[in-house]
Amino acid sequence: MADTPLRWGIVGCGVIAPWHAKAITHSDGIELSAVCDIVPENTRTFAEDFGVDTVFGDYQEMFSQASLDVVSICAPSGIHSEIAVAAAGAGVNVLTEKPMAITLPQIDAMISACDDAGVKLGCIFQRRTTSASIRVREAVKNGELGKMVMGDAYLKYYRSQAYYDSAGWRGTWELDGGGALMNQGVHGIDLLLWIMGDVEKVYAKAAPKTRRIPVEDTAVAILTFKSGAWGVLEGTTSCNPGEATRLELHGENGTVILEDPTIKRWAVTSEEDGHAENVELEIEEDEAPDAMAGDPQAFGLRGHVIQVRDMADAIRNDRQPLVPGTSARKAVELILAVYRSSELGWEVTLPLDE
């Protein structure tokens, strides 16, 4: 396999699929071999755009006929699990878009199927790949901020009613799995957990405040991390025109504010009872997210390239991908805990009993 290109397929030729296709075509040792979508016009247009000759309208047929090594799942979130399980059954490695799936049983089925088949399972969370995110995580894990006191995430996006009306699966429990948190906020939630560690308790409110959808467009939550730190989570798609993802991290020795994709504040002291002063960090700037907060299609390619190449390397060298299934599961579990707390009206303890 090391001397031959990995044969890569894509299931779902919608909004996010071009980022996977471009990442594949920007990577050595990989070829985009087949694409699949239930809408024939989508498949034909996508295949023409990326020079793919092999197209399917059924992913089962693709897995049985296309001799793939790996597949990107870019279909609606509610069917990620069934596609991943089918891929694993055919011996195909899986890289899925976020969220990994929309229920814990779905996710656990994906993990089990891939483990049983001996194939890799990865999930796209490209914000873990930025230089700023990596540096902030190192600071927290290495104790540079001292004992962590608070970890807050402000995930304020704008999505219009037209956005939700543009596809029948958007803003539904059945296929989107939720709203502002499950679709948009999941990126920042994953990043917060990756930096701060697991959450133990959640008290939350979530509801549709402005959009005509059954799921939430606005949510707030109070978090208790296993470390003992507290946190605030705010997620919305009703914030016009939207703001950049912002994490505020506070420890006894300092404060770091991460505003994707840059560090906006770094004030850390190494002295006991010292006063933290702002300093300028020299960190290589990553590709800017442009107007991502207000435009669902406005984000860069860099993170997808990194994760596609990482998946290829993980397959070739038999290691876990950058974001394995067990790690991607954590963000979904926290979001489901927010929904449960809002529905019940009291604090919910993790792990959830599903």
In Å, what is the CA distance from 78 to each residue of 109, 169, 304? Answer: 13, 9, 21
Nearest in space to 325 (alpha carbons), one of 117, 152, 133:
117
Residue 214 has pLDDT above 50, yes or no: yes
Q: What's the topology of domain 6-123+301-322?
A: Rossmann fold (3.40.50)
Can you tell me the distance from the alpha carbon of 318 to that of 123, in angstroms, rounded to the nearest whole number?
17
Q: Which two tokens stand for residue 118?
A: 């001996």
Can you tell me the distance from the alpha carbon of 265 to that of 259, in angstroms, rounded to the nearest whole number?
9
Question: What are the pLDDT digits (tens) for 173-211?
Answer: 999 999 999 999 999 999 999 999 999 999 999 999 999
Nearest in space to 189 (alpha carbons), one of 327, 345, 342:
327
Question: What are the pLDDT digits (tens) for 61-75?
Answer: 999 999 999 999 999
Residue 354 pLDDT grade (very low, low, confident, very high; cuts 50, 70, 90): low
Domain ranges of the chain: 6-123+301-322, 127-286+332-349
Can you tell me the distance from the alpha carbon of 305 to that of 27, in angstroms, rounded to the nearest whole number?
7
The CATH code of domain 127-286+332-349 reads 3.30.360.10
Question: What are the pLDDT digits (tens) for 109-127?
Answer: 999 999 999 999 999 999 9
The pLDDT value given to residue 290: 41
Nearest in space to 347 (alpha carbons), one of 219, 186, 189, 222:
222
Question: What are the pLDDT digits (tens) for 276-314?
Answer: 998 888 776 555 444 445 544 545 799 999 999 999 999
pLDDT > 70: what percent of the chain? 95
The pLDDT value given to residue 52: 97
Can you tell me the distance from the alpha carbon of 46 to that of 339, in angstroms, rounded to the nearest whole number?
36
